[in-house]
């Protein structure tokens, strides 16, 4: 788990850095937009790997979420952050190049994120980091569609965008 005292770069909707603030401030003030990366991991059967967020998380604990999600560290390149988070959370090195899909702004009552989403195929079983993730498993689209409130609102939106991007 990261410290509430770590700093995040604040950004505008183009991703230009406009300041910095502590994690604890960003996670309770939706005016402080910060950068995050998501990686959607899929397998040869096109099942999607989802993680169940740790109960120790300050945002959406215990809910199923995107395969990988994490904050971009100050000065870090976006694709490097995605690769780092993929390894930190799931112990995976991508078996195919990370494919950048899209960027969007995610707003909730407690925070605002500028999300950069990537996808990659994995031919090996992820090894979830127990400090970050309660559990993880492969989901079919039918299971995802039936999951409803078991998924974080951001995960539901992310997978809607992902499905549209691959059509």
Q: Is residue 1 part of a domain?
A: no
* Assigned token pair, 69: 């999600």
Report how many domains make up the chain.
1
Q: Is residue 92 part of a domain?
A: yes
- Predicted confidence at residue 58, as pLDDT, reads 80
Domain with 114, as residue range(s), is 7-165
| pLDDT tens track for 68-122 | 999 999 999 999 999 999 999 999 987 678 999 999 999 999 999 999 999 999 9
Q: Is residue 130 part of a domain?
A: yes
Strands 112-121, 17-22: parallel, antiparallel or unpaired by DSSP?
Answer: unpaired
Q: Is residue 68 part of a domain?
A: yes
* Assigned token pair, 115: 């999300």
H-type alpha helices, the chain:
23-26, 78-90, 141-147, 153-165
Q: Is residue 2 part of a domain?
A: no
**Reported pTM:** 0.93
Q: Is residue 125 part of a domain?
A: yes
* Assigned token pair, 131: 């400090």
Q: How many CB atoms lie within 10 A of CB 64?
A: 22
Q: Among candidates 95, 91, 88, 93, which has minimal Cα distance to 71? A: 88
Mean pLDDT of the chain: 93
CATH number at residue 56: 3.90.79.10
Q: Is the pLDDT of residue 2 over 60?
A: no
- Predicted confidence at residue 94, as pLDDT, reads 74
> For residue 100, what is the enclosing H or E element?
strand 99-107
CA angle 66, 51, 111 (to 5 degrees): 50
Q: Is residue 127 part of a domain?
A: yes
How many Å apart are CA 84 and CA 87, to the nearest integer? 5
Q: Among candidates 153, 113, 103, which has minimal Cα distance to 29? A: 113
């Amino acid at each position: 788990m990261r410290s509430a005292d770590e700093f995040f770069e604040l950004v505008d909707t183009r991703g230009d850095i406009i300041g910095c603030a502590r994690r604890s401030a960003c996670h309770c003030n939706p005016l402080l937009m910060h950068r995050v990366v998501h990686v959607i991991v899929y397998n040869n059967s096109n099942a999607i790997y989802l993680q169940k967020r740790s109960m120790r998380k300050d945002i959406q604990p215990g809910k199923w979420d995107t395969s990988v999600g994490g904050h971009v560290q100050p000065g870090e390149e976006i694709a490097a952050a995605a690769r780092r988070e993929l390894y930190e959370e799931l112990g995976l090195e991508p078996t195919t190049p990370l494919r950048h899909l899209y960027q969007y702004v995610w707003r909730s009552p407690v925070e605002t994120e500028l999300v950069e989403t990537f996808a990659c195929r994995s031919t090996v079983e992820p090894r979830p980091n127990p400090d970050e993730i309660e559990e993880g498993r492969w989901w079919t689209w039918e299971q995802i569609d039936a999951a409803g409130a078991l998924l974080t609102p951001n995960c539901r939106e992310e997978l809607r965008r992902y499905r549209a991007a691959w059509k």
